[in-house]
Structure 1
Amino acid sequence: MYKLSSLQAARGLAALMVVAFHSLFISAKYVESKSFPPEIFFFGQTGVDLFFVISGFVMIIAFRNKFGKKGEISNFLKGRFFRIYPTYWVYFFAVFIIFQIRPEMMNSSQSGNIDLTASLLLLPASTLPLLMVAWSLIHEVWFYLIFAVILLLPPKWVLSAFSFWLIAIIYASLFTATPENPYLRVMTHAFSLEFIFGALAGIAYLKLSKRPASSPLAVALMALTGLGAIAYSLSAGTVNGSDVIQSISLERAFAVGGGYTLLLLAFALQESNNRLKVFSFLKLTGDMSYSLYLSHILTLSVCGRVWLSLGLTGSGAWGTIVFWAASYSAVILVAYLSYRLIEKPLLTLTDLYKKPKFIKQASPAKGDT
């Protein structure tokens, strides 16, 4: 019941959405094509919103029987540490070497102003991390710390704890300005709402999946409502060019995060009722989504520099097709090799530290980023 391929496929979709979003910047820098990528790829930035929702959902499913049990907080934090940091550090140090040799190539918009200690430890800072995509991991680390505290509570208090967190974030978003302090900014950021939505959906799933098969009409209505919320966010411009690292609007959190939450819950219920089959490609992409997320900008940038060095910029429609076919193939290949040669071996190695058996058995818990 709880090995949900739909969550893993959604994670793969989220990673591909982020790749699509960053394609726009690679195209502007190296390809100079107006025909591709299309402007709709800008919405791909909400792949991060989807990641946060999935993360909350997965945490509830994976640790459903651990709330209020002695010693679980230590097991949880150790498991999350080994899931996030070792693979991340491989990419951090690879980029760090480049930064030492050619600092102008890394985060040039910040003129090389990077807090290396914060980047290494995934701590909030006033500048972007050295590996830029790691800004979302900083939020994940915060979510895990709060979840660890909630894990101390008996099961009957878990819903109340998430509800209290939800109200606190809404209050902060409505009545306080975006804090200048980077720690406070992360703590009060409305992205937390999306993790909470996912956790609440996980709680709902655990209750609903134990009942007789859900009505197809009710599940379809849930999915349509989620799609409607996503469509609204597209038409209303809630996903715009504002700096999401600083803050997002409550409208975006509810429309995008809420929409994805309803879709995830609907698909999970369909799968529990044996009414949903998941594409194997998306499931595989979900398995390697962490490696894909960490590596894709580096891969796209290398492809762009090679293209530029060959003097093929502005080579027309066929040139654009060739570039993106080659680049997207390289992104998938590098991510797969990273997953097989770096991520999985590191996870196997860290199993020597007695990572809790229930984490290893809960397949949706893989790649919570």
Structure 2
Amino acid sequence: MSSPLPIPLLEAPRPVDAEPSSVRLASNSPREVGSIARRMTLVDGLRGFAALAVVLPHAVGLFIFAGSGALSEWMVRVADFGHRGVEVFFALSGFVIAFSLRHTRLSPRGIGQFILRRSLRLDPPYWVALGLFCGYLLLRAAMTGKPAELPSAPHLLSHLLYLQDVLGYGQLNIAFWTLCIEFQFYLAFAVLLGCAQALSRWSGRDGVLTMFFSVLFVVSLAWPMGLVEMRSHQPHMMYLPSHVFIFLAGALTWWTLEGRLPRAVWYAFVLGLWGLFLWKLDSRVFVTAATSSILYAAGRSHRLYTWLAARPLQYLGRISYSIYLVHVPLCMLLLAVKVRIAPPSDLVSLAFLGVCYAASIAAAHVLYTWVEAPCLEWTKRLKR
């Protein structure tokens, strides 16, 4: 089991991947209003950066060998920061999911439709990635002459339903735990949002919804503040509560740009995050504060549709979920090949890292084109 990555986005997520970022900002700016078909280039660009970041921690074994030089030692240190790409996916998921549900009345039927769309969006690529990882296990067994450690039927079924941690089976692919966290968050967020909507209608006050989630955000900071220490043998209990504040920071940022949450409240929350980072030096808090600040600054300056619009970043953002799904077995396979055929060298390790990135992007392109893109079209049709 990997630590928070130390890792699925979104959906991450994704991070991890959220709804397609073809959104418009509910503001008075003529540059932002009336552009429902436009994509938030900033969101996709940040996903592109995060997708590149999360590959490095799983490829860092390329740089661990006897007699490694300064370059390899530096890469090992840098790789640790790649874990934080997961938090970027989580914050973006909260931001875009809050947008996608802004006009949705979340009755039990509405919640069911939302989860169905999420499943159609996320499940087929994930299932293909599970099959690919099992193929990697068979290939590894053929290369080593050892028996293939294939999952049992219940273990595989638990993965198909995002329940492997809940049921105690553990992960086939160390990156998949974040997919469980993402899906649990989607379900919990939709249910809580539906309850907040009902409470708002009952009380006749529009501010109940944002107040409800603002309180939840403050409470969820108990973990990074160290006020509550989670000790559990269940990974989902250890990881989900400690990441809730990241999703909620993204959602609160959207609601502030939308005008539902007073800006003064958002400023208080983000300043609190920056202060918490300076106190605890928790990198998750830093990434949450930075991502929320960038999204808010872009929204206020009408740059959500122009920042990070370079085509390579937009392309990486679109295939980021597929990159996340396929990169781990490719990294493991290339590491095994390097150990067998290549001399220990900093430059050789760097070359293999380049091959790892190229292979991950190529495989992700195929998965996106043949599986993920059709799933996106299905979810659009279902929403219509």
Kindly state the Cα deviation for residue 283 of structure 1 after the two structures are TM-superposed: 1.1
Give aligned pairs, total: 323
Kindly state the Cα deviation for residue 345 of structure 1 after the two structures are TM-superposed: 3.0
Kindly state the Cα deviation for residue 99 of structure 1 after the two structures are TM-superposed: 4.0
* Alignment correspondent of 1:286: 317
Q: Take 2:371 and 2:67, find their aligned partners in 1: how far apart are those partners?
A: 31
Amino acid at match of 2:160: L
Kindly state the Cα deviation for residue 343 of structure 1 after the two structures are TM-superposed: 1.6
1:205 aligned onto 2:257: yes
TM-score normalised to structure 1 length: 0.74
Distance 1:334 1:35, change over 3 A: same
* Alignment correspondent of 1:248: none
1:338 aligned onto 2:380: no
1:355 aligned onto 2:382: yes
Structure 2: gaps spanning 5 or more residues: 1-23, 26-38, 201-205
Q: Take 1:42 and 1:320, find their aligned partners in 2: how far apart are those partners?
A: 17
Contact 2:124–2:375 under 8 Å retained in 1: yes
Q: Take 2:90 and 2:304, find their aligned partners in 1: how far apart are those partners?
A: 25
C-alpha deviations, 1:171-220, integer Å up to 9, x for none? Answer: 46623542334453345x211110011111111122299xxxx9xxxxxx
Distance 1:351 1:313, change over 3 A: same
Contact 1:18–1:48 under 8 Å retained in 2: yes
Contact 2:53–2:85 under 8 Å retained in 1: yes
* Alignment correspondent of 2:186: 144
Kindly state the Cα deviation for residue 19 of structure 1 after the two structures are TM-superposed: 1.2
Q: Secondary structure at the match of 2:102?
A: coil
Kindly state the Cα deviation for residue 11 of structure 1 after the two structures are TM-superposed: 1.1
Kindly state the Cα deviation for residue 159 of structure 1 after the two structures are TM-superposed: 0.9
Q: Take 1:345 and 1:274, find their aligned partners in 2: how far apart are those partners?
A: 24
Q: Superposed, which structure 2 residues align to 1:161-200 within 5 Å?
A: 161-171=212-222, 174-187=227-240, 189-200=241-252
Q: Secondary structure at the match of 1:313?
A: coil
Kindly state the Cα deviation for residue 340 of structure 1 after the two structures are TM-superposed: 1.1
TM-score normalised to structure 2 length: 0.71
* Alignment correspondent of 2:344: 314
Q: Take 2:299 and 2:362, find their aligned partners in 1: how far apart are those partners?
A: 29
* Alignment correspondent of 2:211: 160
Higher-helix-fraction structure? 1
* Alignment correspondent of 2:358: 329
TM-align CA RMSD: 3.8
Segment of structure 1 superposing worse, 38-47 or 283-292: 38-47
C-alpha deviations, 1:272-309, integer Å up to 9, x for none? Answer: 48764522211111100000001112222222233333
Structure 1: gaps spanning 5 or more residues: 215-221, 239-250, 358-369
* Alignment correspondent of 1:48: 86
1:121 aligned onto 2:161: yes
Identity %: 23
Distance 1:14 1:285, change over 3 A: same
